[in-house]
Amino acid sequence: MTDQQKPLSAADRSYVAFVEVAWQRHIRLAMLLSGDRWRAEELLQDSLVKVYERWRRLSRLGDPHAYLRRALVNNHTSAWRRRRRESLFADVPDRAAAADGVGPDAVVLRRALMSLPAKQRAVVVLRHYEDLSEREVAQVLGCSLGTVKSQNARALGKLRHLLEESFDLVSR
């Protein structure tokens, strides 16, 4: 009997069910972190591998969604550090927005979000998109509560400024 013919174990079946639910929930987070659908899918796949490696323990004892969220942020941060700087392409949000069928306001917001440094973007996405508390964001990012508060305040200030400029230009 080959590997393809073996029936899935109960743990593997529960993991497959988890992935079916988690994919749609976490692909948006990965897209907001990475800024690109293709990088987001790669980031999510890599993170799901890490979840699978620990699946038996996570499914019994932990919250696999929280672990996956942490893995997404850590993997994104690691990739960003390897590149030493983030590559930002102005056309990526347009392409991603067109594929998702979102309007011009969402494109402007995505561009503003992508202009933030990686840590500030992670704080904003986790805090306001994932709706985590400041304390939960600090746990996910492995930093202090004060860091989350200051990064969030700086990021929101920059977003406010960028969005005011963008919408002033649009309305003129």
Instruction: Sketch the domain layout of the chain as residue ranges.
Output: 9-87, 89-172
- Would you give the distance in Å from CA 118 to the centre of its chain? 11
Helix (H, G, I), strand (E, B) or coil at 38: helix
Contacts of 148 (CB under 8 A, 6+ apart): 123, 127, 134, 137, 138, 141
Q: What is the pLDDT of residues 48-70, one digit of tens each?
A: 999 999 998 888 887 899 999 99
Q: Assess contact for 122 and 141: CB atoms under 8 A.
A: yes
pTM (2 d.p.): 0.60
Percent of the chain with pLDDT over 90: 40
- Confidence at residue 154, expressed as pLDDT on a 0 to 100 scale: 95
CATH of domain 9-87: 1.10.1740
| Distance, CA of 103 to CA of 107 (rounded, Å) | 7
- Confidence at residue 153, expressed as pLDDT on a 0 to 100 scale: 94
Enter the DSSP assignment of 102: -
Asked if the domains 9-87 and 89-172 are classified in one and the same CATH topology, the answer is no
| Distance, CA of 28 to CA of 25 (rounded, Å) | 7
Fold annotation for 89-172: Arc Repressor Mutant, subunit A (1.10.10)
The pLDDT-based confidence of 106 (bands split at 50, 70, 90) is confident
Q: Assess contact for 23 and 51: CB atoms under 8 A.
A: no
Q: Assess contact for 94 and 103: CB atoms under 8 A.
A: no
